[in-house]
Amino acid sequence: MVITKITYGESYEAVNSYGLKSWNKLGVEIEMEAGESADEAYQTAHQFIKEKLSKQMEEEPVIQKRQEPKNENQKIAQYVSDLLLCRELEGKDGLLSFEAFVKQIDNQTVTSAYEMMYKKLSK
């Protein structure tokens, strides 16, 4: 048996202030030359990912969970306000990251705000 490539990857879970989760993945593929050790290539790939992963996690902002409003009307107003602050459709903090949350709370006011911002940002 001849091993010519080593592939190694890891993923980690990220949680935003609303409790919605996403997975970030890192991977590397190492091509080996004749006579190189597969174990050494694996260790190199593993070390590379560990270093990049720790650096990426250090660079990610620490998300402070905000205090939830006390009553339902305040909650709805805060959700709408958060949706209206979105400046892009895609991305980690983009409007689409709220889609599952909007469906989960199932409120017409929040849904309307989401749909309005979706139309605005889709142009």
Q: In degrees rounded to 5, what are phi and psi of residue 6?
A: -120, 130
Query: Angle at which helices 108-122 and 72-84 pack, to 10 degrees?
Result: 0
**Is the model's pLDDT at 116 over the cut of 90?**
yes
Percent of the chain surpassing pLDDT 70: 83
30 burial via Cβ count (<10 Å: 0-12, 13-18, 19+): middle
Contact 22, 13 (CB under 8 A): yes
Whether residue 54 is found in the same domain as residue 91: no
Considering the domain boundaries, does residue 106 fall inside one? yes
Most confident of 9-18, 30-39, 103-112: 103-112
Closest Cα to residue 11, out of 1, 20, 24, 21?
24
Determine the pLDDT at residue 61: 58
* Structural domain harbouring 47: 5-59
Considering the domain boundaries, does residue 109 fall inside one? yes
Q: Which of 34, 59, 84 is the last residue of a domain?
A: 59
Most confident of 20-34, 47-61, 76-90: 76-90
Whether residue 45 is found in the same domain as residue 80: no
Q: What is the distance between the alpha carbons of residues 123 and 41, in angstroms, rounded to a whole number?
A: 47
Whether residue 83 is found in the same domain as residue 113: yes
Q: Which of 59, 85, 104 is the last residue of a domain?
A: 59
Whether residue 50 is found in the same domain as residue 13: yes
Domain count, the chain: 2
Side chain identity at residue 67, one-letter code: Q
pTM of the predicted structure, to 2 decimals: 0.46
pLDDT in tens, 70-97: 788 888 888 898 889 888 888 777 888 8
Q: Which two tokens stand for residue 11?
A: 């993923």
Q: What DSSP letter does each residue of 14-31 carry, written as one string?
A: EE-TTS-EEEEEEEEEEE
pLDDT range class, residue 57, cuts 50, 70, 90: low
Q: Which of 37, 59, 81 is the last residue of a domain?
A: 59
Considering the domain boundaries, does residue 64 fall inside one? no
